[in-house]
Amino acid sequence: MEPLSPFMQQALAQAARAVGLSEPNPRVGCVIVSPDGERVLGEGHTQAAGDAHAEIMALRDAAAKGHSVVGATAYVTLEPCAHHGRTGPCCEAVAAAGIAKVVAALPDPNPLVAGQGLARLQAAGVQVEVGPGAAQSRELNIGFFSRMIRGTPWLRMKVAATLDGKTALDNGASQWITSEAARADGHAWRARAGAVLTGIGTLLEDNPRLDVRLVPSARQPDAVVVDSRLETPPDARVFRPGRKLFIYGAASDAGRKAALEARGATVVMLPGPGGKVDLEALLRDLARREVNELHVEAGHKLNGSLIRSGLVDELLVYIAPKLVGQGREMAHFGPLADLAHAVAFEFLSTEMVGPDLRLIARIPGRDTF
């Protein structure tokens, strides 16, 4: 594999700056380089939904610096869009500016684009190259690709546990198993998600906010509660002015539903087997609501149901150097008749966060959609 151009590396660094900002749009960076390949003329990344995309930001940056981009090369981490959505087509703006060549990491999986942006650039006489930085750009936009191709968000389950795998004491006490540094790191992962999900058990026991507080964030993720019998108290802290809250139920109760909707929640009834919420249908509904990455912070019962249903893509686990003996487990499912039936993950990374160990593990092959 050829080494990645420093300009594409710079574009990827720009794209990373869109994490927690551009949702539900993909995280895209653009760097415009002089015709002689020596100087960066402008750079930028996708802004909040409805605002400028990466290419427009880079063109504006070049103009603000007094640079002409005629004959320049644009390095962009995803195919320039070709449709009228919240903004106009970026491919038209790039061609009109006189860019001579576009190096794109990946085609856009959005059916509204899907190669059309590249084709329109070529039709306008712009040279196109595709491929450099593809793996990095795809990983950065794993949720966007998941939503566009699978029709479901990328589900990342966050767990804070002890060395003996316990997430709470038998009485439910769990604050705090991990350190302040680990909790802040967990909030950084919340910030990159389109929505944070929990179950009614956790909501009734801990009354969580499901928001981002411990790190700076340009936006708050949506909140999602799996609540089969609509038991969410109308005064729960998960209700926040200006933020979307989705409550998924199974057993319809008109009075409770009306009370929750009066507080501003969107209540969606998705009954499944056993009087529980249909979790797969829930994921597809969130995808229709433009959630790319779904961050789950739930209890052992809902965690077990998600794992048992094969819906978990990735684990984000913080291990504290503590033993508590008896307590609640990470996920309740099984029992298995054979170790061969264990749910297998592969480690992507291990890193110390304060005194705790952060593990990221993924279902093998799950990201090959």
Where are the extended beta strands (E) located within the chain?
A: 29-33, 40-45, 73-76, 101-104, 127-130, 154-162, 166-168, 195-199, 222-226, 245-249, 266-269, 293-296, 314-320, 328-329, 346-353, 356-362
* CB-CB contact of 210 with 196 (8 Å): yes
Q: How far is Cα 15 from Cα 47, in angstroms, rounded to an integer?
A: 10
The distance of Cα 363 from the centroid of its chain, to the nearest Å, equals 17
Query: How far is residue 19's CA from residue 218's CA, in Å, rounded to a whole number?
Result: 10
Is the separation of the CB atoms in 294 and 146 below 8 Å?
no
DSSP assignment of 266-331: EEEE-B-GGG-B-HHHHHHHHHHTT--EEEE---HHHHHHHHHTT---EEEEEEES---SS-EES-
Q: Which of 144-168 are b and which e, b meaning 16 or more Cβ less than 10 Å from the residue's Cβ? A: bbbbbeeebbbbbbbbbbbeeebbb
Quote the CA–CA distance of 342 and 130 in Å, as a whole number: 39
Give the strand pairing for 127-130 and 101-104. Answer: parallel
Which residue type, as a one-letter code, is found at position 79? E
Identify the DSSP state of 340: G
Asked whether the CA dihedral 292, 360, 186, 199 is positive or negative, the reply is positive
Closest CA to 134 of 1, 239, 45: 1
Q: Could you confirm whether 92 is annotated as catalytic?
A: no
Whole-angstrom Cα Rg for the chain:
23
Catalytic residue among 23, 43, 55, 297: 55
What is the rounded CA–CA span in Å between residue 111 and residue 108? 8
Which residue numbers are catalytic?
55
